[in-house]
Structure 1
Amino acid sequence: MRYASITDRLADLGSGRWALHMAARRMKAEGEPIIELTIGEPDLPPHQDLLDECARAMYAGRTRYSNGRGEPAVLKALVEKYAKRRPGVTEKNFLCFPGTQSALYAVMTGLVEAGDGVLVGDPLYATYEGVIASTGAHLIPVPLRPENRFHLQVQDLERAITPEARVLLLNTPHNPTGAVLTAAEIAAIGAICRKHDLWIVCDEVYEQLIFGTDFASPFDMPELAERTIVVSSISKSHAAPGFRSGWAAGPEEFCAKLLPVSETMLFGVQPFIADMAALALSRPFETAGIMKANYSRRAAIIEKTLTGSNLLKPMMPEGGMFVVVDVTGTGLSGEAYAWELLRKEKVAVMPGSSFGHQAAGFVRISLTVPDDVLEDAVKRMAHLASSLIANPQSDSDKLRA
């Protein structure tokens, strides 16, 4: 039988990136005491008021069809939120989606196609490559270097731009590294995008999870307003990943052109979840503040536990819910080290290679477990690292970094 070419383009870009995570879940289901540090799933529940509102709306009959742009209450709340950042936005600057992932998929579908290129910092979130490939466009990696704390450098961006480049996909705060771009850095990046007439798509799902620095966005800069699209959701900020409520914010013309694409894909979100999202956006909740304090403290636990180690070197994040650790001192790649860690120490972390070439010597640790569990896991990581040096494998058995 014949299949569309998209199935070939995405054949190796789906769940294979999460093979270790799924193996750990299988081991855990079979009764093994796995410490799971793989995915970014908040360890707090959504606020009770949000759960109550979702249930209230569902039982009140808010289970019928929505419209393609979004429920009025959510659009109103989005206008109020983003008008504080950029005055003058209206409901015509927004489209609602079931989560950031579907928003990003639709946005890329509306911007690029076969033959086009999308610039993305490497390391990158694991689904970006698939989102880009689904359109027929190709990914153009821009190295994010550890010596620059994984902040995108304009000279690296300029060197990477090709005649086919149409879009720069930014992610700040960044997954997996936790890097947070400054306003000055974004302005400099924006100048390059203006020079080469590039769209800027900015994934800001970790906007409320920043440690000790300020959030900045190209959406807030008037000179970039006509070329910037933001995707985000309540998944991380309100500890509600399973509710799938997100949005895209961008120029009015872009949203008008993308609306039929969105309607063809989804034709609306779930109204009872939209009511919950409207409440989440309309008033402050302490959830993000609690998570931010937890994640910052836990990142410090990793740093303290590994102080003095020349085998495992954590890169402290500026935001988000992860820490990346350089494991090249063990002589193994991040992939090999992560599998050894799961097998020997029953700790599951994500191999850096799931996030691009530049992260191949790293593993990513989720900060979404209690402090004592995290400290135990990191001690096991250090124990494995020491044992690898004390009892080296043959070169043929290693996957070198």
Structure 2
Amino acid sequence: MTVKQTSRLSKAVESIQPSGIRRFFDMASTMDDVVSLGVGEPDFSTPWNVCEASIASLERGHTSYTANAGLPELRREIANYMDDRFNAPYDSETEVLVTVGASEALDAATRAIVDPGDEVIIVEPTFVSYAPVVTLAGGVPVPLAVQKEDEFKLTPEALEAAITTRTKAVMICFPNNPTGAVMTESELQKIASVIERHDLLVLSDEIYAELTYDGEHTAFSNLSKMRERTVIISGFSKAFAMTGWRLGFVCGPEDIVGAMLKIHQYAMMCAPTPAQHGALEALRNGRETLERMIESYQQRRNFIVQSFRELGLDCHQPGGAFYAFPNVASSGLNGEAFAEKLLLEEQVAVVPGNVFGGGGEAHVRCSYATSLESIKVAIDRMDRLMQKI
């Protein structure tokens, strides 16, 4: 006699929770006059020259599949970009893969290296998809919370303590979403030494690399003895204001990128052709526009951090990305209660820090990838809430 399964769904899918960010977005969507500091995407439109390049590719009839790994000329341009900007050279034919956003790159990289039962250390607070992609790959996500006292940076001592005999890899994100934390080359090299000693791999999400305001970004693969251990995940969404284009890329060792290509072939075939032509233009002629956006983000960062401090909210100075991560404990509320009260009473949407994992419970994430005028309105409303509570 056949025993019927209790569920038609996989245990892995059932075990993961929907994104905690979405609950507040869904609430906000039903309300009027909401000012949102919750969206993690630029308020700038994609530069017009990028749009024109994509349109021109359509007019020329470039509407078929590209090579699975992406347009050869785009992969060459990505390799040139990584070398010129971050001193991280890659072979465009064997070590670069164009993906459907950095999210697909993260998923494919995880599936390429993780076997069932492998542990992957996830440095938190961090982007909400990391733990679920490890679970879906059959791995075991191991959260490692960093602290505000350390400026939300990973310390070698904390990493060492989290490693076990089953640890396969470490996922990091600097500049960080949601904290905006950055790490210097010397600080990262101390992490690299632990990685080497324990023979681990690194999945380094560097999607915010260009949005580094204090000092220069260091590609993790450019650290001593890290090139063959590191998969760099990046893309065009944040720096070039191309979120909806869904175009990312990965650079890494030939064997890992080759394994990812197999996954990508069966899951996606290739990234969208018009988007690839747009990305080619962004890399070739997008520097001036990018620098103007960075200057604007930095002005907004300075204003929002100072404003939070004047409200009595302790806020660490983010060195990159476009998020501030104030501590709201002085309000007497935790991050989730504060975010809900702020939305319902003052129509300002922020994201509670606990959805990004350990270390974020007393915080909220506030994106300054929105206009300075909207930020000022949000601060005024937040001030009203603080006066009430």
Q: Structure 1-normalised TM-score?
A: 0.91
Aligned twin of 2:3 = none
Secondary structure of 1:114's partner?
coil
Q: Write out per-residue CA displacement over residues 113-153 of structure 1, whole angstroms, 9 at most, x where no aligned residue.
A: 32111111111111112111111212112221101110111
- What is the distance in 2 between the residues matched to 1:16 and 1:177? 16
Percent identity over paired residues: 28
Residues 35 and 378 of structure 2 are in contact (CA less than 8 Å); yes or no, is this contact kept in structure 1? yes
Q: What are the within-5 Å matches in structure 2 for residues 112-151 of structure 1?
A: 112-151=114-153
Q: Write out per-residue CA displacement over residues 158-185 of structure 1, whole angstroms, 9 at most, x where no aligned residue.
A: 0111221111111111100111111111
Stretches of structure 1 lacking an aligned partner (at least 5 in a row): 389-401
Secondary structure of 2:225's partner?
helix
Which stretch has the larger CA shift, 68-77 or 333-342? 68-77
Q: What amino acid is aligned across from residue 292 of structure 1 in structure 2?
A: I
Q: What amino acid is aligned across from residue 319 of structure 2 in structure 1?
A: E
Matched, 1:23 2:27: yes
- What is the distance in 1 between the residues matched to 2:107 and 2:197? 26
Residues 36 and 347 of structure 1 are in contact (CA less than 8 Å); yes or no, is this contact kept in structure 2? yes
User: CA shift at 1:291, angstroms?
Assistant: 2.1
Stretches of structure 2 lacking an aligned partner (at least 5 in a row): 1-6
Which stretch has the larger CA shift, 99-108 or 139-148? 139-148
Secondary structure of 2:359's partner?
helix
Match of 1:3 among 3, 9, 12: 9
Residues 82 and 89 of structure 1 are in contact (CA less than 8 Å); yes or no, is this contact kept in structure 2? no
Residues 306 and 382 of structure 1 are in contact (CA less than 8 Å); yes or no, is this contact kept in structure 2? no
Matched, 1:349 2:355: no
**C-alpha RMSD of the superposition:** 1.5
User: CA shift at 1:202, angstroms?
Assistant: 0.6
Residues 79 and 89 of structure 2 are in contact (CA less than 8 Å); yes or no, is this contact kept in structure 1? no
Say if 1:295 and 1:87 are closer, same or farther in 2 by CA, change over 3 A.
Answer: closer
- What is the distance in 1 between the residues matched to 2:305 and 2:250? 36
Aligned residue pairs, count: 381
Secondary structure of 1:216's partner?
coil
Q: What are the within-5 Å matches in structure 2 for residues 2-401 of structure 1?
A: 2-10=8-16, 12=17, 14-27=18-31, 32-84=32-84, 85-87=87-89, 89-310=91-312, 312-388=313-389
- What is the distance in 2 between the residues matched to 1:207 and 1:174? 10
User: CA shift at 1:308, angstroms?
Assistant: 4.2
Q: Write out per-residue CA displacement over residues 293-322 of structure 1, whole angstroms, 9 at most, x where no aligned residue.
A: 222111221233234443x22222101111
- Structure 1 runs of 4+ aligned residues shifted over 4 Å read none
User: CA shift at 1:222, angstroms?
Assistant: 4.7
- What is the distance in 1 between the residues matched to 2:226 and 2:169? 13
Secondary structure of 1:41's partner?
coil
Secondary structure of 2:169's partner?
strand
Residues 243 and 273 of structure 1 are in contact (CA less than 8 Å); yes or no, is this contact kept in structure 2? yes
Q: Structure 2-normalised TM-score?
A: 0.94
